[in-house]
Amino acid sequence: MKKKRRSGFIIACTAPAVILFVIFMIIPTIDVFRMSLYKWGGYTAEKTFVGFENFKKLSQNPKFYQAFQNSVLLIVIVTLVTFCLSLVFASILSREKIKGQNFFRIVFYIPNILSVVVISAIFSAIYDPNQGLLNSVLNLFRGNKEPILWLGSQKLVIYSVAIAMVWQAVGYYMVMYMASMSNVPESLYESASLEGAGRISQFFSITLPLVWTNIRTTLTFFIISTINMSFLMVKAMTNGGPDGASNVFLSYMYQEAYTNSSYGYGMAIGVTVFVFSFALAGILNAVTRREEIEF
Amino acid sequence: MKFKKVLCILTAAMMVFGATACGGGGNTDSGTGTPDAGTEDTGSAEDESAGQDADAGNEEADAGAETETDAGESAGLTGTLKVAAVETAYGADMWKDVCAAFESSHEGVTIELTVDKKLEDVITPEMKSGVYPDVILRAVGAESGLTETFVKDNNLVDLTDVLAMTVPGESVTVGDKILPGFVENSICNPYGDGKTYLMPMFYGPCGLFFDQGLFTAKGWTVPETWDEMWELGETARAEGIALFTYPTAGYFDAFFYALLHESMGNDKFQEALRYGEGIWDTPEAQTVFDIIEKLASYTESTTPANANDNDFQKNQQLILDDKALFMPNGNWVIGEMAEAPRAEGFEWGFTALPAVTAGGERASYSFFEQVWMPVGAENQDLGKEFIAFLYSDAAAEIFAKSGAVQPIQGMTDKLDGDNKLYYSIYDNGAVAVMDAFAATDAVEGVTTRATFFDPVNSLVTGDKTKEDWVNQIKTDSDALRAALKE
């Protein structure tokens, strides 16, 4: 009797969270999958079931592949560069005694607090072909040649977006790594230095293995946040231009779903992104699995 | 212990309740989110116009006596009308005033007005749950594609009978009042069945803008043919000035339509708008592609870098700084750049597109906004009455005060100053072009903007050749042709 009452109590306590989760997460997700099988403009009640037609069209659409390529490129570049930079910064700021430590912590973290619109405005100003900071500095070395079109050249634009994204993300991951690095006992470093290990080998043999669990978690974050942030950045900075050269998954999905009256098709892109990011996160998780080291 | 359990259950219940309440709030939010622009203000506007009440009411009665239909219709028309209008450069006040004027001339009618710059964001959530505004003002060609979506979905109320309605308070019909050409085009008759689904509202001529002061100072004349344009391009290049720039590639729509019309004449132009088979291989179409390709080579080189929604004003600034000579635009640019610094002696100049051949047609695209009703509108009769009212002299005057000009007979005579210059372009021999690409069912992955206009950026940067562009147009036209609305 007491056990029954106990489980009833547990159900009562978890029910709100479960109900909310089902209503706001599970049902919409299933809805996305369902909608991807329809041809629908998005406003009317009239929907036509088209089966996998949307996916078939998607697989033949070069513009989708362009957006796909851009997204993958961003995931790789932004993850790699942000990961390396934030690890190095975190290690320096938590292990080394340097002047103005707190100042640097704040400076690195500030971009994370700024809204994407502000960041895109800052970078638009930096990338401005005529008065921009970047071209002005480069002109010191290359003379007054034709300005480089950071947001206008189709070959450069996606890298320009990547730089802004790295700048925005470094601080956030740095703080996450610093938090776990500060948990590593000082004694390990002391004994390592007594045995003659230098700073760099300490980093690779002690710091890195001991924050590995944290790193694995952040890798999943990298994938999700790059997919989401790239949409915001692209939307605010270039709107997919010039001529679709900076379109990413979600900006292309947005274009199709909301400006081309193809809501169902947009949802098909959504499903592809969902499956892709899930699979990628799964693969990364499997590849980075190590025996956990405790201290 | 027991107390704790009860407390836990109570907290849990409150959480669920709170969440449900939040969910509900989210829904109503869309309706009430902007009403500070809507309900609240109509209230105050109502007070302002209370004085006119009696007069307007009398006029209404007179008009009603004159025509049977009008009397029959307006007699039973009461209730709440939901009007949603996008807030553009003209501001939101004129809508509040017009709604107040309608309310005071139609007793028993209340208007729930939603005016917002991001109209779609405000009305979409309600529309998804099946609650539609009765009357919507939003033009085709907006990024959101709201109007296009309703056209593609056959989700519009047939407004042909509004043309036959008498303008409330007047004795003329709506159809007689609207300037010729504004109703008989592929935008207002999207299905080509002779029925009108969208009604033309504020219009403005689009063409090439330039610095008249610079032309006067240099002694240059505004080119009348494209050959003269290229000559001027060389002269300007020698002085370090580019011939051309554009705000974003999207501005090529008006430019492209006008140029097509100049080059191929109306019949073939209409065929092109319906993606006619082989139309892009005709010499006339090739002429258009050649001109745009050549124009790309004369375009200021940094233009594509700023040709996005964020930075397009930097491209417009090139004209103010005398770094480029011409840009395609509409008369709203003047307000948009009102605060911008400019070269000494700067003076806005405006011209139709140069002719393809000497003495040939010179065209200017007439951009106009549209007002329409979704099929889901509840008060359709009242909505039509409201639309008819929008063409009354009383409403036109309110709109004109904010600079919004409707295609109504005699309206241009009332204009003054700068506005007169722009709207008189058609009096000076330019042909007004008003059509747009024909409506199709949604073709996944193909938009006219991405197919026809965005690649201009690539032509300027050299990432695409003219042949790439034309081939893309041909392939996508095949897909669009197959999806044409019949």
Confidence (pLDDT) at B403: 83
Confidence (pLDDT) at B20: 44
- Chain B residue with CA closest to A258: the answer is B144
- The class (CATH top level) of B206-367+424-482 is alpha beta
Confidence (pLDDT) at A178: 93
Query: B166 in helix, strand or coil?
Result: strand
Q: Name the B residues in 186-205 with CB < 8 Å from any A CB.
A: none
Q: How far is A220 from chain B (nearest CA, A)?
A: 29
Confidence (pLDDT) at B439: 87
Q: How far is A66 from chain B (nearest CA, A)?
A: 12
Entry pTM:
0.82
CA distances from B449 to B245, B250, B406 (A): 18, 7, 26
Query: Is the distance from CB of A219 to CB of A35 less than 8 angstroms?
Result: no
Q: For residue B124, list chain A residues with Cβ-Cβ distance below 8 A.
A: 43
Q: What is the DSSP string of B199-214?
A: EEEEEEEEEEEEEHHH
Q: Give the span between the Cα atoms of B272 and A182, in whole angstroms.
A: 68
Q: What angle is formed at CA B397 by the lines to CA B392 and CA B399, rounded to 5 degrees?
A: 95
B303 inside 8 A of chain A by CB: yes
Confidence (pLDDT) at B28: 33
Confidence (pLDDT) at B4: 62
Q: Give the span between the Cα atoms of A84 and B74, in whole angstroms.
A: 72
* Ramachandran angles phi, psi of B121, nearest 5°: -60, -30
Tell me whether the CATH fold assigned to B34-203+368-414 matches the one assigned to B206-367+424-482.
Answer: yes
Q: Give the span between the Cα atoms of A221 and A216, in whole angstroms.
A: 9
Q: What is the β-pairing status of strands B199-211 and B79-86?
A: unpaired
pLDDT digits (tens, 9 = 90+) for A55-104: 999 999 999 999 999 999 999 999 999 999 999 999 999 988 888 888 98
- Chain B residue with CA closest to A268: the answer is B444
A255 inside 8 A of chain B by CB: yes
Q: How far is B160 from chain A (nearest CA, A)?
A: 22
Identify which has the larger pLDDT, A208 or A241: A208
- Chain B residue with CA closest to A56: the answer is B444
Q: For residue B9, list chain A residues with Cβ-Cβ distance below 8 A.
A: 9, 12-13
pLDDT digits (tens, 9 = 90+) for B17-33: 444 444 433 333 333 33
Query: Which percentage of chain A shows pLDDT scores above 70?
Result: 99
Query: A39 in helix, strand or coil?
Result: strand
Q: Where along chain B do its domains lie?
A: 34-203+368-414, 206-367+424-482
Query: ipTM greater than 0.90, yes or no?
Result: no
Q: Where along chain A do its domains lie?
A: 55-287
Q: What angle is formed at CA B69 by the lines to CA B62 and CA B161, rounded to 5 degrees?
A: 125
A259 inside 8 A of chain B by CB: yes
Confidence (pLDDT) at A1: 65
Q: Name the A residues in 179-238 with CB < 8 Å from any B CB.
A: 236-238
What fold does the segment set B34-203+368-414 form as a domain?
A: D-Maltodextrin-Binding Protein; domain 2 (3.40.190)
Confidence (pLDDT) at A295: 66
Interface probe for A, chosen from B148, B149, B485 (most Cβ of A below 10 Å), is B149
Tokens at A287, concatenated: 């590849």
pLDDT digits (tens, 9 = 90+) for A98-123: 888 889 889 999 998 999 999 999 99
Which residues of chain B have a pLDDT value below 50? 16-75
B313 inside 8 A of chain A by CB: no
Query: Which percentage of chain A shows pLDDT scores above 90?
Result: 76
B309 inside 8 A of chain A by CB: yes
The domain over range A55-287 is classified in CATH as 3.30.565.10? no
pLDDT digits (tens, 9 = 90+) for A222-265: 999 999 999 999 999 998 889 999 999 999 999 999 888 899 99
Confidence (pLDDT) at B22: 43
CB contact under 8 Å between B15 and A16, yes or no, is: yes
Tokens at A142, concatenated: 């290359």
CB contact under 8 Å between B153 and A13, yes or no, is: no
